[in-house]
Amino acid sequence: MHIALSYQSGQPIYEQIKYQIRAQILSGELKAGTMLPSIRMLAKELKIGIITAKRAYEDLSAEGFLYSVQGKGVFVAEVKNDYLTAYKLEKIKDMFAEIKKYAAEHGVDQSVLESIFKQILGE
| Residue 3 pLDDT level (bands cut at 50, 70, 90) | very high
Q: Where are the domains of the chain?
A: 13-76, 81-122
- pLDDT (tens digit per residue) in 48-105: 999 999 999 999 999 999 999 999 999 999 987 777 787 788 888 989 999 999 999 9
Those residues with Cβ within 8 angstroms of residue 16's Cβ, 6 or more apart along the chain or in another chain: 3, 5, 6, 9
pLDDT of residue 4 exceeding 80: yes
Distance from C-alpha of 43 to C-alpha of 66, rounded to nearest angstrom: 17
- pLDDT (tens digit per residue) in 8-27: 888 999 999 999 999 899 88
Region 13-76: CATH code: 1.10.10.10
